[in-house]
Amino acid sequence: MTLFNRQILLASRPQAAVTPDNFKLVETPLAPLGQGQVRVRNHYLSLDPYMRGRMSDAKSYAEPQPLDEVMIGATAGEVVESNHAAFAVGDKVAGMFGWQEYGTSDGAGLHKVDDTHVPLSAYLGAVGMPGVTAWYGLNTIIAPRAGQTIVVSAASGAVGSVVGQLAKLAGCRAVGIAGGPDKCRYVVETLGFDACVDYKAGNLYEDLKSATPGGVDGCFENVGGEGLDATLARMNAFGRIALCGMIAGYDGQPVPLAQPSIILRSRLLMQGFIVTEHMDVWPQALRELGGLVAQGKLQYRETIAQGLENAPEAFIGLLKGKNFGKQLVKLI
Amino acid sequence: MTLFNRQILLASRPQAAVTPDNFKLVETPLAPLGQGQVRVRNHYLSLDPYMRGRMSDAKSYAEPQPLDEVMIGATAGEVVESNHAAFAVGDKVAGMFGWQEYGTSDGAGLHKVDDTHVPLSAYLGAVGMPGVTAWYGLNTIIAPRAGQTIVVSAASGAVGSVVGQLAKLAGCRAVGIAGGPDKCRYVVETLGFDACVDYKAGNLYEDLKSATPGGVDGCFENVGGEGLDATLARMNAFGRIALCGMIAGYDGQPVPLAQPSIILRSRLLMQGFIVTEHMDVWPQALRELGGLVAQGKLQYRETIAQGLENAPEAFIGLLKGKNFGKQLVKLI
């Protein structure tokens, strides 16, 4: 019996906002497994904002996603067939197989994960790239001290939720920015932030001011635009900004920074980073994050779309902030 | 015979651009010198962009200049009377006496300078605060390596001219941005920069691109606005931006940064600084800068207004880029 692999390819590059017809679903028969290869049935696909950048061919830190090839993406699944000494059928693994149901690999970039105390899906979130992103930007760029105030945008998301909880564990005041009362309530009540500002309430600067009576010492920025402008205006001298994402401008129009002179006036440090360029911190970060999840000290939430065919719609929703927590696609 | 001291006070705060009626010239009789005091006849007053910030009462890193008091400013002059053991008549000194012809002090903040090999006025420029500003931002924030390309705006000015020459001494390619062909010619032919872009020629980005064929690794920013936008767009990955001044926005309207996403995309570091917060580097910086000036290895140029009464006009001109090199007022 020939197995068929369903895959989603990049069919065209978005002109502005991503649309469903930028993607194409195909079915491809799986070739027999070669010598030294391992085959994985992907259970979860991770959807992340960085994918929007890869869909364009503008100059960026990474090569663009090629047209008519499987969309890039992190996956977690189970080995279903193996001609590779390091992997056995039934092993749980995380890798970068992209938007498809099966992955075939010589083992490069694939690593076994233990889902005894940490759910498989968490290896795509709090104990995966988003978690390490939060860990790196907070610990390495912001380097917070107890008693400082840290603001993070997209606070209920996969990265932001970890930033604020790590900041709390470091003895800081954690203030989130998120869209809507439900997300804000979750950020405070479940994640344990001290406050959360609803940017959709139309009073962003004043609400942030109320939430940060002692000013802001560190900013972990995932969005850009109005929220970043407001946070900059609240920064204390020598504050630090880790620039992780600017999702507000991913659909084309560059979003300006209204008052860059604040960086000078308050002697701020602003630094952009890409977590995959700092692989040296990953083992330590993943060890710490895995430990916290296993002990129930690091909360996270997932929005799970069902079925590969629903990945494009889920991704478009992610770019609009429709997800609530880590956006995944369940593939099985 | 009673000596009169002429002084310029801040009469009102500018609403937008600085105007002559923001200042007031007064004559005040000098009180007899007290015990432990020293009196200095100021020869030169330094005019610097930071003074514009002090004239406003907006939140800033420093207290605003009080109304009806002598405008703040660095001065260099000669001791004319002394009741202080550390200062003798005839000593050359640099201090912060502000916009006035005589200064009276208990010695705090006043230091003797040697004008044998370094002209007195240079202690307000290349061997003073502007020189240390250049030294600090370049060496500490940009930390250039030989072969890298460094861009500096206001390249013919007191700070920018030192930045580019220090970059050349460090083995870098130095590219200036300045206003008009005369300044640009001076920057290349006299200061020894590799290239200089005339921002008034109307083709800033393309001209900067031509001048930086290998991209830009370090940016020393004195101006902000279009020049900073163009430089950011030319930055190589992991480039560093020392934010020293944003004179383009000093007259009220904040000048936005068009594409802050470049900071993320190219993983840049941008840091604002105020040199008076880093007094620990001053002795080393001044020793090095003084040695370079004495050996003729550090060129500088001065625009000198004659007479205290012309200081306001000279300052207004400085904010518009009318000066050519370090703006001074000769007071004697």
Read off the pLDDT of residues B286-317 as tens digits, 9 standing for 90 and up: 999 999 999 999 999 999 999 999 999 999 99
Q: Can you give the residue ranges of every domain in chain B?
A: 4-125+300-330, 129-276
pLDDT confidence band for A1 (50 / 70 / 90): low
Q: Check pLDDT > 90 for residue A247.
A: no
Taking CB atoms and an 8 Å limit, are A257 and B257 in contact across chains? yes
Q: Check pLDDT > 90 for residue B321.
A: no
The structure tokens 């009576």 sit at A213
The pLDDT tens digits for B248-279 are: 877 777 899 999 999 999 999 999 999 999 99
> If you average pLDDT over residues B23-46, what whole number do you get?
97
pLDDT confidence band for B63 (50 / 70 / 90): confident
Q: Check pLDDT > 70 for residue A111.
A: yes
Please give the pLDDT value at position B243. 97
Q: Say if residues B36 and B8 touch (Cβ distance below 8 Å).
A: no
Taking CB atoms and an 8 Å limit, are A260 and B246 in contact across chains? yes
Taking CB atoms and an 8 Å limit, are B263 and A272 in contact across chains? yes
Closest chain B C-alpha to A278 CA, distance in angstroms: 12
How far apart, in whole angstroms, are the C-alpha atoms of residue A19 and residue B123?
62
Please give the pLDDT value at position A249. 74
Nearest alpha-carbon partner for A133 in A291, A273, A330, A33: A273
For residue A295, what is the DSSP state?
T
How far apart, in whole angstroms, are the C-alpha atoms of residue A250 and residue A51?
10
Which residues on chain A are in Cβ contact (under 8 Å) with B257?
256-257, 260
Q: Check pLDDT > 80 for residue A61.
A: no
Taking CB atoms and an 8 Å limit, are B272 and A249 in contact across chains? no
* φ/ψ of residue B53, rounded to 5: -60, -40
Query: What percent of chain A shows pLDDT beyond 70?
Result: 99
How far apart, in whole angstroms, are the C-alpha atoms of residue B164 and residue B242?
13
Average pLDDT, chain A: 95
Please give the pLDDT value at position A301. 96
Taking CB atoms and an 8 Å limit, are B268 and A272 in contact across chains? yes
How far apart, in whole angstroms, are the C-alpha atoms of residue A266 and residue B274?
9
For residue A217, what is the DSSP state?
E
**Any residues with CB less than 8 A from the CB of A11 and at least 6 apart, and which?**
A21, A22, A23, A24, A67, A68
AA identity, residue B90: G
> If you average pLDDT over residues B69-76, what whole number do you get?
98
* φ/ψ of residue B61, rounded to 5: -75, -20
Q: How many CA atoms lie within 13 A of A252 on its CB side?
A: 6
Strand partners, B177: B153, B197
Which residues on chain B are in Cβ contact (under 8 Å) with A255?
260-261
Maximum separation of any 2 CA atoms in chain A, in Å = 69
Closest chain B C-alpha to A195 CA, distance in angstroms: 25
pLDDT confidence band for A63 (50 / 70 / 90): confident
Q: Say if residues A54 and A62 touch (Cβ distance below 8 Å).
A: yes
How far apart, in whole angstroms, are the C-alpha atoms of residue A237 and residue A239?
5
Q: Check pLDDT > 90 for residue A248.
A: no
Please give the pLDDT value at position A58. 77
* CATH for A4-125+300-330 (3.90.180.10, 3.40.50.150, 3.40.190.10, 1.10.3720.10): 3.90.180.10
Q: Which of A271-280, B17-26, B243-252 has the least mean pLDDT?
A: B243-252
> If you average pLDDT over residues B191-208, what whole number do you get?
98
Taking CB atoms and an 8 Å limit, are B263 and A243 in contact across chains? yes
Taking CB atoms and an 8 Å limit, are A260 and B257 in contact across chains? yes
Q: Say if residues A298 and A161 touch (Cβ distance below 8 Å).
A: no
Please give the pLDDT value at position A202. 95
* φ/ψ of residue A16, rounded to 5: -140, -100
Strand partners, B105: B38
Taking CB atoms and an 8 Å limit, are A265 and B61 in contact across chains? yes
Q: Check pLDDT > 90 for residue A254.
A: no
B108, two tokens? 């705090």
Nearest alpha-carbon partner for A123 in A38, A41, A42, A46: A46
* φ/ψ of residue A59, rounded to 5: -55, 130
> If you average pLDDT over residues A73-86, what whole number do you get?
97
CA distances to A283, B98, B157, B187 from B174, in Å: 40, 34, 15, 10
Nearest CB partner across the interface for A269, out of B224, B260, B271: B271
Average pLDDT, chain B: 95
How far apart, in whole angstroms, are the C-alpha atoms of residue B125 and residue B96?
14
Q: List own/partner pairs for B296-300 with CB under 8 A and 24 or more apart.
A: B297/B165, B297/B169, B298/B126, B298/B162, B298/B165, B299/B161, B299/B165, B299/B190, B299/B191, B299/B192, B300/B122, B300/B125, B300/B126, B300/B158, B300/B161, B300/B162, B300/B325, B300/B326
Please give the pLDDT value at position B1. 67
Please give the pLDDT value at position B46. 98
Residue A200: other Cβ atoms inside 10 A: 13
Please give the pLDDT value at position B57. 86
Please give the pLDDT value at position A177. 98
Q: Check pLDDT > 70 for residue A150.
A: yes
A115, two tokens? 């889902």
**Any residues with CB less than 8 A from the CB of B309 and at least 6 apart, and which?**
B6, B25
Whether the domain at B4-125+300-330 and the domain at B129-276 fall into the same CATH topology: no
Nearest alpha-carbon partner for B97 in B137, B57, B37, B52: B37
The structure tokens 């890193």 sit at B61
Please give the pLDDT value at position B197. 98
pLDDT confidence band for B92 (50 / 70 / 90): very high
Please give the pLDDT value at position A321. 86
Please give the pLDDT value at position A57. 86
Those residues of chain B whose CB sits closer than 8 Å to some CB in chain A are: 53, 59-61, 224, 228, 237, 243-246, 249, 254-261, 263-274, 277
**Any residues with CB less than 8 A from the CB of B151 and at least 6 apart, and which?**
B175, B176, B177, B208, B212, B216, B218, B219, B220, B231, B234
Can you spell out the DSSP letters for B180-227?
SHHHHHHHHHTT--SEEEEGGGS-HHHHHHHH-TT-EEEEEESS-THH
Q: Can you say whether residue A98 is alpha, beta or left, with left for phi > 0 and alpha for psi between -120 and 50 degrees?
A: left
Closest chain B C-alpha to A111 CA, distance in angstroms: 28
> If you average pLDDT over residues A63-72, what whole number do you get?
95
Q: Say if residues B244 and B222 touch (Cβ distance below 8 Å).
A: yes
Coil, strand, or helix at residue A286? helix
CATH superfamily of A129-276: NAD(P)-binding Rossmann-like Domain (3.40.50.720)
Nearest CB partner across the interface for B224, out of A256, A261, A274: A261
Q: Say if residues A58 and A250 touch (Cβ distance below 8 Å).
A: no
Mutation pick from A251, A265, A274, A278 vs chain B, by most beta carbons of B within 10 Å, is: A265
Nearest CB partner across the interface for B246, out of A53, A261, A269: A261
Taking CB atoms and an 8 Å limit, are B264 and A277 in contact across chains? no
Q: Check pLDDT > 90 for residue A282.
A: yes
